[in-house]
């Protein structure tokens, strides 16, 4: 049971590490279409600030997910290391 939980945590951490990378790639892939469709050059100052704030918030959210993934993977390795030290040598 313990190994199943550790495998699940490792996969969860790997998924959390992958999500922000995928979201960043998707954002940069669609940004040219967004700029063309909404003609960002003619945005008012308020609209530019809103777009900038939205990018900052989403980047911050994805960074949080990434750091949670790093923490989850690190915890898995620490649990494995602690488990190895507890088990007697065969």
pTM over 0.95: no
Dihedral, CA of residue 58, residue 61, residue 67 and residue 71, to nearest 10: -150
Number of structural domains the chain divides into: 1
Give residue 19's Cα distance to chain centre. Answer: 5
pLDDT in tens, the chain (90 residues): 888 988 999 999 999 999 999 988 888 888 888 888 888 888 899 988 998 898 899 889 999 999 999 999 999 999 888 887 766 665
- Separation of alpha carbons 77 and 63, rounded Å: 21
Structural domain range at position 69: 2-86
């Amino acid at each position: 049971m313990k190994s199943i939980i550790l495998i699940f945590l490792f996969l969860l951490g790997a998924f959390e590490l992958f999500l922000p990378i995928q979201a960043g790639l998707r954002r940069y892939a669609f940004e040219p279409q967004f700029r063309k469709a909404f003609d960002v050059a003619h945005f008012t100052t308020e609209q530019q600030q809103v777009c900038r704030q939205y990018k900052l918030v989403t980047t911050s959210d994805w960074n949080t997910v990434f750091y949670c993934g790093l923490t989850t993977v690190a915890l898995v390795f620490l649990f494995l290391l602690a488990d190895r030290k507890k088990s007697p040598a065969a």
